[in-house]
Every structure is written in C-alpha cells, then in structure tokens.
Amino acid sequence: MINKLIFDAPFNSLSFGNVSYNFLRELFKKKDLEVIVFPNGEQVDFSAFQPTQEFIQKFQAACQNRLKKYSGDIPTLKLWHINGSERKLTSKQFLYTFHELDFATEEEINIVNSQTKTIFSSSYSNNVFTGLGGETDKITNVPIGFDTDFCETNRRVSKDTIVFGLMGKFEKRKHTAEILRLWANKYGNNKNYMLIACITNPFYKKEQMEAAIYQALEGKKYFNINFIPWLKTNKEVNDLINNIDIDLTGISSAEGWDLPSFNSTCLGKWSIVLNATAHKDWATKDNCILIEPNGAQNAADGIFFHNGGPFNQGNIYSISDEAIIKAMDIAEQKAHTYNINGSKLKEKFTYAKTIDSILDIVNKN
C-alpha cells in the first residue's frame, strides 16, 4: 500500500476544477496517505466552493512543502487533458481524464499508452481507445461522484409554472442553439412555462455571445426565457438546480460525464438525456427521459474543435428535432413529481468510491 501520493491537478471553478477539489477532499481523509499537491495552472481558485479552514490548511501545507517532499519514485495522480499529459512529474503517472468523441488520434493513443495507467471517466471513452489501439492493460475507467455540497432545498420559482433549465457553455457539441430554438418555438411567450438559461461561454466575447443567442432565437424576444450570467459559486448553481423542474443540459451530443445534468438528476429533477457517450454510465430509462441519436456529425466547430489536429478529432451525435420535442412532452407530465430513482444516484456514485477505486488501481500497479 502506498503511503505517499503526488496529486497534479487544476484548482478552479471549471469542471476539471470541481473534480479536482472533490478528489482532494477525499484524499485528505485518508489518514495513512500523505498527499503532495502540485497545482496545474496559473493560479489556485477556490472561490466557487466553500472549503473548510481545515481543508485550506492541509492544502497550503501540501503545496508549500511539495518540492521538499517530492521524489521521482512517488506515484502521481494527474487530473488533466490528454493534451499535455505526456509531461510527467514522476516515473509512475496515473492519468485521470475526460474524452468526448468517437475517435482517438495516434498522438492521443500514444500518450494514453505511455501512462502507467490511464483512467477515463466513462466506459465509452475506454472502449473508444481500446478499440483503436489503446493497450487494454493500460486503460480503464472509473466514474466520478456526486458533490455533497449540492443539496435539495425548498426554493421554487413558481408552483404553477413548469421551469426548464439549460446549463453549460454555449457550443455546437452541446446543441445549445438547437435547444433554444426548439424550446422557444414550443413554449415561447407562454406564461405557464419558463426557461432559465445559464449558457454563457467564457471563451466568447460579449458581442459573440449576443450574436449566437440572437441567431438561435431568430432575432425574437421571449419574456419567459431568462438568460442569467455565468454563476461564480456552486451555491448559486445549487440554487438554480433547485429552482427548475426539467433539465435540458443532457441533450448534449458528446460528454465526458455531464455534471449539470447528473447533479440535477441526483437532486430529484427530471433530465432529458441523450442515450450516448458518458451518459450511458449513469442515465437510464428509470431515472431520466432518454432520447436516441439519429446519426453523427463532424465535431469541428471552428472554435473548440478543429479538423486535422493531433487532439479532439472525431464525431458528435446528432439528434432529430422530433425526438427532442417528444421528450419535452413526456417531461411535462413528470415535471412536478419527484424523481426518486434519480435521487438514488447520490448513493451509487460518490467521490469516496471514486478515490477508493483509483487508489486500488495505483496500489496494484
């Protein structure tokens, strides 16, 4: 059993930062394990969370003493993109990463095979890589868990209105424009329905963001679509989830897990989810409203995905308008009922289980 572990990860308010924070909280609970932290990124930012003073003290000590306690034979758990993970702090590196597309390039496969072990967040990514040349003894998958800082509250926008929620940055992969268009055509300016859209893309300039929304809504205004800015804290995200009845974020066509949709489902909300990619590891017909893809399309969008590069090449799934509209109809019937099976996901997927599984892999290698 190892007694020391280097944790190389980003600490910010983005998805990777959320996972890093929860990984580290669980690692700090291991009394017989000394964790040495190497922050990956320009700066550490815990402003999205509510860390305890004990956590902050442990984090500071684990960072400040990292160069004194560093040794090349200590195993490293690295949480990062495949791109950049060829850089290793120690001889034994365990990479935990997310991948979304249906293809893996030679460069990606080589980096993955060069790790002591690559741990994907989903079985979908595991299968993509092993099917295209990834070494089966070098690749596995472990799911992430439910963040216990999220909780159910009694907050509601209105008991008489069915409230839909759409989260995640505006992009082609997430079908943001199509979801907005379809929802507006079906429910726009109907006082019985509301859409809360938290879809600001931090990589867009303000005018780009406004133009994207204008185009998606064909220049029309709707009083029942509430666009809210990027939420800075998880507490605000938790409030948003508790104020909706139906989550639309899971209509995304390619995900490494899909935290907003997963968290909404865990909190008893009904999520419309594409039955593909990482969704298949947690979303079922009993805890979500599943829709099937009707094909595939090139992931290239000229912003986040570009053809011909060494990373992120492949396809995303396509979805018919009819399938989305039908799912919205079904969701309406469930809107004001509690999703009991969805809430059970909190017990099935926990960060404690995630870290236990990862440490088991480290100890066996």
Q: How far apart, in whole angstroms, are the C-alpha atoms of residue 282 and residue 275? A: 10
In order, the DSSP letters of 227-280 are: E-PPP-SHHHHHHHHHT-SEE-GGG-S--SS-HHHHHHHHTT-EEEEESSGGGG
**Contacting residues for 223 by C-beta, under 8 A, at least 6 apart:** 189
pLDDT at 155 over 90: no
Q: What single letter denotes the amino acid at residue 181?
A: R
The CATH code of the domain at 4-145+350-364 is 3.40.50.2000
According to CATH, where is 3.40.50.2000 located in the chain?
4-145+350-364, 162-348
Read off the pLDDT of residues 25-80 as tens digits, 9 standing for 90 and up: 999 999 999 999 999 977 899 999 999 999 999 999 999 999 999 999 999 999 99
| Confidence at residue 46, expressed as pLDDT on a 0 to 100 scale | 96
Candidates 214, 216, 219, 261; CA nearest to 241 is 261
At residue 157, the pLDDT reads 62
**226-245 confidence digits (pLDDT tens):** 999 999 999 999 999 999 99
Secondary structure of 267-332 in HEC code, one letter for each residue? CCCEEEEECCHHHHHCCCCCCCEEECCCEEEECCCCCCCCCCCCCCCCEEEECCHHHHHHHHHHHH
Which class would CATH give 162-348?
A: alpha beta
